Amino acid sequence: MKKGFIFDLDGVITDTAKYHYLAWKELARELGIEIDEAFNESLKGIDRLSSLERILRFGGQELAYTEMEKAALAAKKNAQYVELLTDLSPADLLPGIADFLAEAKKQQVPCAIASASKNAPMILEKLGVAANFKAIVDPATLKKGKPDPEIFLKAAEAIGLAPAEAVGFEDAQAGVEALNAAGIMSVGIVRDGNLTATTLNVTDLREISVTELLAY
């Protein structure tokens, strides 16, 4: 029996993954590096600075910038990303999320957010669902990002659950690996592309209910 839910944010609660991609693509282009959607898959779930380092490595520029310059480039990308989120509203919740969270609340099932994004609290406020989460792991407190299990173990602990009692939702392979390493059941949210090594995959949360998942 499961007792609570842990959600990734970008690509699971809302489709901000596309805005991360647009902002990185623009920054990369300014640096003379072209990235495409296939490469972008490898950035999903990866923190801001590590994403920039992957892009620089992809473009053969891993040694071209100092730590301070890299911090400035990451800040520039974030400013562009935040600009793209100006009009984010409850209408941007992915299909099924609002009903699923409402049902979890009705059944008093605790929910947590395990996202690498430092923008998560602001995004959840804009989406109107911040109050549905009992805990949001602060990514600044992590020693290692996904695929390390740390973020999901902290999220489970924050809502008082053992890993085996939680269900995690992810749209990124790095996140699925983190869930598996944490010993937490994984539900893949797969719209395009694919996720492997999940317990089950769905297109969106209209396909599975709170009650069905709690019975696992």
**Residues forming the annotated binding site?**
8-10, 24, 43-48, 51, 77, 115-119, 146, 170-171
Of 117, 99, 213, 97, the closest CA to residue 166 belongs to 213
Main-chain dihedrals φ then ψ at residue 15, nearest 5 degrees: -90, 45
Active site residue 204: no
Place of tokens 């647009």: 22
Q: Does 10 bind Mg ion (CB under 5 A)?
A: yes
Q: Which is nearer to Mg ion, 10 or 150 (CB)?
A: 10
Is-contact 48 118, C-beta < 8 A? yes
What's the closest the beta carbon of residue 50 comes to ligand BG6, in angstroms? 8
Q: Does 177 bind Mg ion (CB under 5 A)?
A: no
Select from Mg ion, ligand BG6, none the partner in contact with residue 119, using the beta carbon and a kind-dependent cut-off of 5 to 8 Å. Answer: ligand BG6
Burial class from Cβ neighbours inside 10 Å (0-12, 13-18, 19+) for residue 165 reads: middle
Q: Does 46 bind ligand BG6 (CB under 6 A)?
A: yes
Q: Which of residues 155-184 bind ligand BG6 (CB under 6 A)?
A: 172
Select from ligand BG6, Mg ion, none the partner in contact with residue 25, using the beta carbon and a kind-dependent cut-off of 5 to 8 Å. Answer: none
How far apart, in whole angstroms, are the C-alpha atoms of residue 12 and residue 158? 20
Q: Which is nearer to ligand BG6, 117 or 132 (CB)?
A: 117
DSSP classification of residue 93: B
Instruction: Give the three-state DSSP class for 4.
Output: strand
Active site residue 10: yes
Of 3, 26, 70, 78, the residue at the interface with ligand BG6 (CB under 6 A) is: 78
Of 115, 132, 186, 198, the residue at the interface with ligand BG6 (CB under 6 A) is: 115
Q: Does 172 bind Mg ion (CB under 5 A)?
A: yes
Q: Which of residues 51-70 bind ligand BG6 (CB under 6 A)?
A: 51
Q: Does 189 bind ligand BG6 (CB under 6 A)?
A: no
Of 85, 84, 97, the closest CA to residue 8 belongs to 97
Burial class from Cβ neighbours inside 10 Å (0-12, 13-18, 19+) for residue 69 reads: exposed
Of 47, 150, 170, 177, the residue at the interface with ligand BG6 (CB under 6 A) is: 47
Sequence-separated (6 or more) residues with CB below 8 Å from residue 163: 152, 153, 156, 182, 183, 184
Q: Does 88 bind ligand BG6 (CB under 6 A)?
A: no
The site for ligand BG6 (CB under 6 A) is made up of 9-10, 17, 20, 43-48, 51, 78, 115-119, 172
